[in-house]
Amino acid sequence: MDDRFTTGELLLSLIELLYALALPAVLFILHRRRTDAKAFPLIVGFLTYLVVSWVRGVFRLFIPAEGLIVQAFFNALLSASMEETGRHFSMKRILNGYIEPHNAVSYGIGHGGCELIMSTGLSVLNALITSVQTGQGDNSLFLVILGMITMLTGILTHICLSLIVFKGVGTDSRKYLFIAMAIHFATNFIGAIVIHYSALLYIPLDVIFLIICIRWLRRVYNP
Burial 10-44 (b: 16+ CB within 10 A, else e): eebbeebbebbbebbeebbeebbeeeebbebbbeb
pLDDT, residue 222, reads 65
Assigned domain for 102 exists? yes
Q: How confident is the model at residue 213 (pLDDT cuts 50, 70, 90)?
A: confident
pLDDT, residue 6, reads 79
What does residue 140 show for φ and ψ, rounded to 5 degrees? -155, 165
Assigned domain for 69 exists? yes
Per the model's pLDDT, the better-predicted residue between 138 and 165 turns out to be 165
Assigned domain for 174 exists? yes
Assigned domain for 21 exists? yes
Assigned domain for 2 exists? no
Assigned domain for 1 exists? no
Listed in sequence order, the DSSP H helices in 172-198 are 175-197
Assigned domain for 62 exists? yes
Domain containing 185: what range? 7-221
The CA distance from 158 to 120, in Å, is 15
The CA distance from 191 to 194, in Å, is 5
What does residue 4 show for φ and ψ, rounded to 5 degrees? -65, 145
Structural domains counted in the chain: 1
pTM, rounded to two decimals: 0.92
With a CB cutoff of 8 Å and minimum separation 6, the contacts of 56 are 78, 79, 82, 83
Mean pLDDT of 164-169: 94
For residue 9, pLDDT beyond 90: no
Assigned domain for 60 exists? yes
Q: Per residue in 13-47, pLDDT tens?
A: 899 999 999 999 999 999 999 998 899 999 999 99
Q: Per residue in 101-140, pLDDT tens?
A: 999 999 999 999 999 999 989 998 998 888 888 877 777 8
The CA distance from 188 to 79, in Å, is 8
Question: Tell me, what DSSP letter sits at residue 96?
Answer: T
pLDDT, residue 59, reads 93
pLDDT, residue 1, reads 43
Please, how many CA atoms are within 13 Å of residue 78, restricted to the half-sphere of its CB?
19
φ/ψ region of 172 (left if φ > 0, alpha if ψ in -120 to 50, else beta) reads left
Q: Per residue in 94-108, pLDDT tens?
A: 999 898 999 999 999
Per the model's pLDDT, the better-predicted residue between 198 and 40 turns out to be 40
